[in-house]
Structure 1
């Protein structure tokens, strides 16, 4: 009996130990599986983070490259500058100087915009001004030739207006308006309702009007930057005496001016007297007739008095 009880205890203890061993192995296996799953998840997360970082890095590199490209493009943009010059020169022969300026402008692809001339009666000289449009690449050379061909440069000024920013802005606006125009044309082709068609047509007309305004302004700026404007004031001084200094020449200029003033004064005075006598000639004739009649009457009275006395 005791042997059977002991045998049962031993068998039960063996079964208990086997169960504990299986539970331990199962728990260890579950822990390993969980650990493996966690490691795999961590690996996937790390890989995803790496991909995100790589994508962000590529995007940043692209942005930097795009910015650098824009900077390079901005640096490569041709500057749009409107040049204007004003000259005041003194010449010996006005007509000769004017012809020379016109020929120089034509030879360089320019043209005359305006030309005015007037006579200075007081000094007996011819003065005037001329406005020329000249290609920008010939602008400086043209001014130098005009100054070189004059007797004296009285005034010279050059100014420039940079319209590059406005021109670039107009180009961007024009590009945007072209895209809108293209979309509206596409919508118009797909429109089925009359109301939609009218609305799209109105919007399209407004966009096309804005495009016309932008292109007109761009053409104006392009013309202004392609051709510079030069205004030249020409004063004639035809007094030229060799072997004299500038001070002596100025003295002779003053003598000439005073001499001309004296002649003008005499001519004006004689002209005034002539106008006075000729204009009042009927009055003088009437006064002469009256005077003659008075003299005749006086003489007759004197003769009558003389005969009475005799």
Structure 2
């Protein structure tokens, strides 16, 4: 038994010493691993490939434009109601000149002005057409003034058109175009090649033209909103009497002669238009005479 105990103790001692050596090696490996990783992390990354400055500017502008499209539009100031009022009136009067004086007084009283005036005098009536522009606050008052004391109203048509949505849409688009215009101008300052400069200048020119059109449209809408338009027609029917009528017997006799001559000319030209058929008349007459002669000889 003693002989077996000694060899077993010797083997256990050898096994413990080997385990201790392995533990020391593992500890040394663990301690050295972080240093190696740190050394690798401290290595500088490879330098990125440089791209041209203008390419960077264009890429940046494109990305900014995409971001601007994704972002909500820049809010514009609240637009008040935009209402365009138009009207047409036809009034029958006893005296055109007197009615015109009344109309001018009403126009002056309501701080309006005449944009267009047209007078027409025929054998049957006299008509004075006036286009009046009046501040929108006084439009209704102007219409009522014409309806009351000028003459008999034959027809009246008043309309209102709400253009608030159209005005707001044009205003928002105009604001966005101005923003893009400033960005293109900034890009033009950093452009390096002639090609890039020409392309940017062309974009700037197109934007400026679009901005001018939008601004003109807004001015036109504002003008129509601020000043309403009324087309006024003063009408006088002429009374036909033997003393006052411009169409007497002499005039009608001359008209009849002219009409008769025109009818004769029309008939003559119509007959001439049948000239191919007129050529057949001599042929038919010759055939008829020949047939008549043969019939006489037989008898």
Q: Give TM-score, length-normalised by structure 1.
A: 0.53
User: What is the aligned counterpart of 2:240 among 247, 257, 273?
Assistant: 257
1:50-61 superposed matches below 5 A: none
Equivalent residues of 1:93, 1:237 under 8 A apart:
no
**How far is 1:258 from its partner?**
5.5
**Which secondary structure state, in structure 2, belongs to the residue aligned with residue 257 of structure 1?**
coil
CA distance in 2, matches of 1:97, 1:262: 22
1:206-225 superposed matches below 5 A: 206-225=206-225
Structure 1 residues 191 and 220: alpha-carbon distance in aligned structure 2, compared to 1, 3 A threshold: same
Gaps of 5+ in 1: 1-72, 239-255, 274-310
Report the number of matched residues.
184
**How far is 1:262 from its partner?**
7.6
1:188-267 superposed matches below 5 A: 188-236=188-236, 257=240, 264-267=247-250
The structure with the larger Rg is 1
**How far is 1:259 from its partner?**
5.0
For the pair 1:127 / 2:127, whether they are aligned, the reply is yes
Equivalent residues of 1:81, 1:225 under 8 A apart:
yes
Gaps of 5+ in 2: 1-74, 257-299
**How far is 1:117 from its partner?**
1.5
CA distance in 1, matches of 2:188, 2:246: 83
Structure 1 residues 260 and 185: alpha-carbon distance in aligned structure 2, compared to 1, 3 A threshold: same
CA distance in 1, matches of 2:161, 2:245: 49
CA distance in 2, matches of 1:187, 1:272: 78
CA distance in 2, matches of 1:229, 1:262: 36
**How far is 1:96 from its partner?**
1.8
Give the match for residue 94 of structure 2: 92
1:69-89 C-alpha deviation (Å, 9 max, x unpaired): xxxx99x64221221101011
Indicate the structure with greater helix content: 1
**How far is 1:104 from its partner?**
2.5
Equivalent residues of 1:139, 1:228 under 8 A apart:
yes
CA distance in 2, matches of 1:149, 1:159: 22
1:206-241 C-alpha deviation (Å, 9 max, x unpaired): 111110111111111111111111011111268xxx
